[in-house]
């Protein structure tokens, strides 16, 4: 991460990286995700008007092979490595949001256990770093994440019933962009357009934290088949308290250089 990125992320609690998925890869992924959207459309059509107009599929890396490699996307590995201690993949999901589809305002910001939330300790540390990839453009009003910048470091809790709409900033994205954000930031979204918002999420936690779904062996199959010494293997290892279950690959300079040479 550059000093500019670090400053912005620390102050705001989020960072948008443009073009994190190469165009040909994006087209390949979207062709696969079209199939999921067809499935989702059936669920959406069965919803009543009062329901949340969102269809979400959890744990997608175990169901959609084309999404596995993105878990260790070389464009974002330096950010994950920098900001999460002994990182692990925690959860993944695809979400389709139609008009009215929303996620209500929430955050993890509960500074009751000091090692368990966003903090700075000579280095940015997260309990939960979220990566939201836009697979289609998300125009203003199209369900882009709305955040309260800086709220990941708030010292006062949000007052009950305060919708903080005066503080919310909506983040539009282009297809292939990735939005990194601390789950301690107050965030929400609502699609108020006729476009279907199509996103895929990957979340990362320190090695000591368990998976959101399934047991410790949730990513066993991916771990077993990932190349020895790879970041994919490391990120999908089992949690085991403070003890590592697989060695962390070397620093990412070589990865970053390779990405630069490839012109990503």
Q: What are phi and psi of 237, to 5 degrees?
A: -70, 165
**Residue number, 151 or 189, with CB nearest to ligand AKG:** 189
**Residue number, 26 or 188, with CB nearest to ligand AKG:** 188
**Residue number, 183 or 238, with CB nearest to ligand AKG:** 183
Q: Provide, rounded to whole angstroms, the least separation between the CB of residue 145 and ligand AKG.
A: 5
Q: What are phi and psi of 59, to 5 degrees?
A: 55, 45
Query: Beta strand 87-97 with 197-206: parallel, antiparallel or unpaired?
Result: antiparallel
Sequence-distant (6+) residues with CB within 8 A of 57 are 36, 40, 63, 93, 94, 95
| DSSP sequence for 146-177 | EE-TTGGG-SSPPPTT---TTT-EEE-B-TT-
Burial class (CB in 10 A: 0-12, 13-18, 19+), 66: middle
Collect contacts of 155-160 with beta carbons under 8 A, ≥24 apart.
157/109, 158/105, 158/186
Q: Provide, rounded to whole angstroms, the least separation between the CB of residue 171 and ligand AKG.
A: 10
Binding residues for ligand AKG, rule: CB under 6 A, are 95, 103, 130, 145, 183, 187, 189, 199, 201
Q: Provide, rounded to whole angstroms, the least separation between the CB of residue 16 and ligand AKG.
A: 14
**Residue number, 130 or 236, with CB nearest to ligand AKG:** 130
Q: Provide, rounded to whole angstroms, the least separation between the CB of residue 205 and ligand AKG.
A: 13
Q: What are phi and psi of 214, to 5 degrees?
A: 70, 180
**Residue number, 87 or 249, with CB nearest to ligand AKG:** 87
**Beta strands, E only, 107-155:** 119-120, 124-125, 129-134, 145-147
CA distance 5 to 67: 26
Q: Provide, rounded to whole angstroms, the least separation between the CB of residue 191 and ligand AKG.
A: 9
**Residue number, 201 or 259, with CB nearest to ligand AKG:** 201
**Residue number, 201 or 256, with CB nearest to ligand AKG:** 201
Q: Provide, rounded to whole angstroms, the least separation between the CB of residue 46 and ligand AKG.
A: 21
Q: Provide, rounded to whole angstroms, the least separation between the CB of residue 91 and ligand AKG.
A: 9
């Amino acid at each position: 991460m550059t000093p500019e990125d670090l400053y912005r992320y620390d102050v705001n609690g989020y960072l948008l990286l443009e073009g994190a998925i190469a165009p040909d890869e994006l087209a390949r992924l979207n062709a696969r995700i079209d199939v999921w959207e067809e499935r989702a459309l059936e669920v959406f059509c069965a919803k009543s008007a009062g329901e949340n107009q969102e269809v979400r599929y959890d744990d997608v890396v175990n169901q959609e092979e084309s999404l596995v490699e993105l878990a260790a996307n070389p464009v974002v590995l330096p950010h994950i490595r920098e900001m999460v201690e002994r990182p692990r993949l925690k959860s993944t999901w695809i979400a389709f949001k139609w008009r009215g589809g929303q996620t209500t305002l929430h955050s993890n910001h509960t500074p009751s256990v000091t090692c368990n939330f966003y903090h700075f300790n000579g280095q940015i540390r997260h309990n939960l770093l979220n990566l939201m990839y836009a697979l289609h453009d998300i125009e203003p009003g199209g369900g882009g994440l709305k955040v309260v910048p800086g709220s990941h470091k708030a010292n006062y809790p949000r007052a009950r019933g305060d919708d903080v709409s005066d503080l919310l900033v909506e983040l539009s994205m282009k297809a292939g962009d990735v939005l990194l954000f601390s789950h301690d930031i107050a965030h929400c979204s609502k699609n108020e357009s006729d476009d279907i918002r199509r996103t895929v999420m990957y979340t990362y936690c320190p090695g000591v934290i368990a998976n959101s779904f399934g047991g410790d062996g949730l990513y066993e199959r991916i771990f077993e088949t990932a190349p020895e010494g790879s970041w994919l293997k490391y990120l999908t290892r089992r949690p085991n308290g403070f003890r590592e279950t697989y060695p962390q690959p070397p620093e990412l300079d070589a990865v970053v250089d390779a990405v630069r040479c490839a012109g990503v």
